[in-house]
Amino acid sequence: MVGATQKFSRTGAAALTLALAILPACARDAEEAAPPAAATEMPGQAIAQTLCAGCHAIGLEGESPHADAPPFRTLSENYPVRLLEEALAEGIAVGHEDMPEFQLEADEVEQLILYLESIQAK
């Protein structure tokens, strides 16, 4: 019985050593497989960042860089955010006085609306 225990102990020790050697590589692979934090942002947030963040506060907090541009999180205080769909699709030309005119594709409109809805102050 002693011989079997010694054989198991050597085999178990070898397996443990192998597992400990592989474990850091597995952890590294898991980190590489996980999406980066930026990849978890909503597509509409990227649109807002690109087109709107120069004037509007586009997140859950902070002030708008442009005094006349309302923070996006407060838009629903004045009207349902969904009412912006048509204006965004046709070329929004309203807003603060020096707001640039731009037009979004249908999928971009939906992405931006979903993002705006997700950040509204409750």
- All structural domains of the chain with their residue ranges: 2-34, 39-119
**Is-contact 63 53, C-beta < 8 A?**
no
Tens digit of pLDDT per residue, the chain (122 long)? Answer: 555 444 444 444 444 343 344 444 443 443 444 334 444 689 999 999 999 999 999 999 999 999 989 999 999 998 999 999 988 888 766 666 677 878 889 999 999 999 999 999 87
Q: Which residues contact 100 (CB under 8 A, 6 or more apart)?
A: none
pLDDT attached to residue 63 = 96
- Model pTM? 0.64
* Neighbour count for residue 59 (Cβ, 10 Å): 14
3-class secondary structure, 57: coil
Q: Which residues contact 90 (CB under 8 A, 6 or more apart)?
A: 103
Q: Measured between alpha carbons, how far is 74 from 60 in angstroms, rounded to an integer? A: 9
Specify the fold of 39-119. Cytochrome Bc1 Complex; Chain D, domain 2 (1.10.760)
